């Protein structure tokens, strides 16, 4: 591979922002980081408008909009960005201009993906569910600076082929049903765990803590009710979500209404009943969950090239899938089979909270870490 090679997720070029028609605007629900060039533009803006912009910048380092994760102060009632409307797309912060596009240059090769915390990106993922060629070769594009500084070409090629092997294993398991998918995920988890631990021994990585402990006997599809309860008891859920992420708040409330007053044994029976009713006997649901894990591996697994933490990133995939699967089953049970728009929305809000809130991500990892 050479640095000129670029691969894109097959639906990358289909994306265009829904703007005011988006059902869950990206301008609320999280702090919006500002790059240095944008901060310099805002600092030098003249007049009353410049004063207004600077009054909306917050954070301990004065580098974010929307510090309370409610909504960006520049979001208009019609769903459009007031700053972009007034000053043009080139004026706004990099993250606002790029999102949900994720452009990663690993050095030997680059990949462009869409972050599924965007509802429309999640909709495109569903539209291409199960496509044979998920990553397609593309001509040279505006490739960003290299992520990290690893220049070990052999390691990259091994890791790249290894990811392809993981995806092939999961694809084959999907066709065989829920039991086989669970077995394959357990097999992969055990192997990735040993690989990461071997890298630790060799001194290649320092990314290891108690959050990365593995119970070899644990089912991963689905996780046990104990693991589900532990994850939902972290800061993944907060009452504040009622204002910052109302759709996720509604999903979490479904969980609490169904499980909060149940004993462990009754909760385990209820989870098993939901899984068998809405997932186990439905090949399309098994495919949806397996393909979702594949999407996470495509977007996140190659970060291991820099931090040598393959199990940690595989754990990202099966934990986020289990949260999404939980919400999918609860929705199905309360409202009937979810439509594609509902499914895309579930994926988006789960990813937004799980992958874009460092405290929630760390807490959920820590909640599923040891033999029960």
Using CB atoms within 10 Å of the CB of residue 22, give its burial: 0 to 12 exposed, 13 to 18 middle, 19+ buried.
Answer: middle
pLDDT (0 to 100) of residue 205:
54
The pLDDT confidence band at residue 372, using thresholds 50, 70 and 90, is very low
Give the integer Cα–Cα distance in Å for 344 and 124: 9
What's 220's DSSP letter? Answer: -
CA distances from 316 to 51, 223, 297, 323, 365 (A): 41, 13, 9, 11, 8
Give me the residues paired with residue 114 across strands: 101
Give the integer Cα–Cα distance in Å for 189 and 311: 7
pLDDT for residue 207 is more than 60 = no
Which residue bears the tokens 């046990």?
Answer: 224
pTM for the whole thing? 0.92
Give me the residues paired with residue 356 across strands: none
CA distances from 244 to 25, 66, 254 (A): 11, 10, 17
Judge whether 204 and 224 are in contact, CB under 8 Å.
no
pLDDT for residue 59 is more than 80 = no
pLDDT (0 to 100) of residue 32:
84
pLDDT for residue 83 is more than 50 = yes
Taken in order 128, 293, 133, 15, is the CA torsion positive or negative? positive
Tokens, residue 361: 């991500």
Domain boundaries, the chain: 27-98, 151-367
Give the integer Cα–Cα distance in Å for 292 and 119: 14
What's 8's DSSP letter? Answer: E
pLDDT (0 to 100) of residue 247:
96
Judge whether 103 and 110 are in contact, CB under 8 Å.
yes
pLDDT above 90 coverage of the chain, percent: 68
Judge whether 208 and 196 are in contact, CB under 8 Å.
yes
The pLDDT confidence band at residue 216, using thresholds 50, 70 and 90, is low
343 Cβ contact list (under 8 Å, min separation 6): 122, 126, 288, 328
Q: Identify the top-confidence range among 22-26, 108-112, 154-158, 252-256.
A: 252-256
pLDDT for residue 141 is more than 80 = no
Strands 110-114 and 6-9: parallel
Average per-residue pLDDT for the chain: 90
């Amino acid at each position: 591979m050479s640095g000129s090679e670029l691969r894109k997720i097959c639906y990358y070029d289909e994306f265009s922002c829904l703007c005011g028609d988006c059902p869950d605007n990206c301008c609320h629900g999280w702090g919006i980081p500002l790059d240095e060039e944008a901060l310099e533009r805002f600092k030098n803006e003249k007049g009353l408008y410049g004063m207004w912009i600077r009054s909306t910048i917050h954070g301990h380092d004065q580098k974010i909009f929307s510090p309370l994760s409610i909504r960006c102060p520049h979001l208009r009632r019609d769903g459009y960005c007031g700053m972009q409307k007034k000053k043009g797309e080139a004026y706004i912060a990099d993250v606002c201009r790029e999102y949900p596009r994720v452009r990663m240059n690993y050095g030997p090769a680059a990949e462009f993906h869409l972050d599924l915390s965007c509802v429309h990106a999640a909709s495109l993922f569903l539209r291409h569910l199960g496509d044979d060629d998920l990553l397609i070769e593309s001509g040279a594009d505006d490739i960003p600076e290299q992520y990290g500084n690893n220049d070990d070409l052999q390691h990259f090629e091994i890791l790249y082929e290894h990811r392809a092997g993981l995806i092939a294993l999961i694809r084959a398991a999907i066709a065989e049903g829920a039991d086989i998918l669970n077995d394959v995920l357990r097999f992969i988890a055990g192997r990735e765990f040993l690989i990461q631990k071997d890298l630790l021994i060799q001194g290649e990585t320092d990314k290891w803590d108690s959050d990365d402990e593995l119970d070899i006997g644990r089912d991963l599809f689905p996780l046990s009710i104990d693991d589900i309860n532990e994850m939902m008891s972290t800061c993944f859920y907060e009452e504040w979500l009622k204002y910052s992420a109302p759709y996720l708040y509604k999903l979490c409330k479904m969980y609490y209404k169904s499980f909060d007053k149940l004993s462990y044994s009754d909760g385990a029976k209820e989870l098993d009943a939901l899984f068998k009713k809405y997932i186990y006997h439905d090949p399309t649901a098994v495919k949806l969950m397996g393909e979702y894990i594949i999407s996470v591996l495509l977007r996140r697994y190659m970060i291991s090239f820099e931090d040598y933490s393959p199990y940690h990133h595989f754990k990202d995939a099966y934990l986020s899938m289990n949260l999404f699967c939980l919400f999918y089953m609860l929705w199905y049970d309360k409202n009937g089979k979810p439509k594609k728009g509902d499914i895309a929305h579930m994926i988006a809000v789960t990813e937004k909270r799980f992958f874009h809130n460092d405290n929630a991500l760390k807490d959920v990892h820590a909640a599923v870490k040891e033999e029960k």
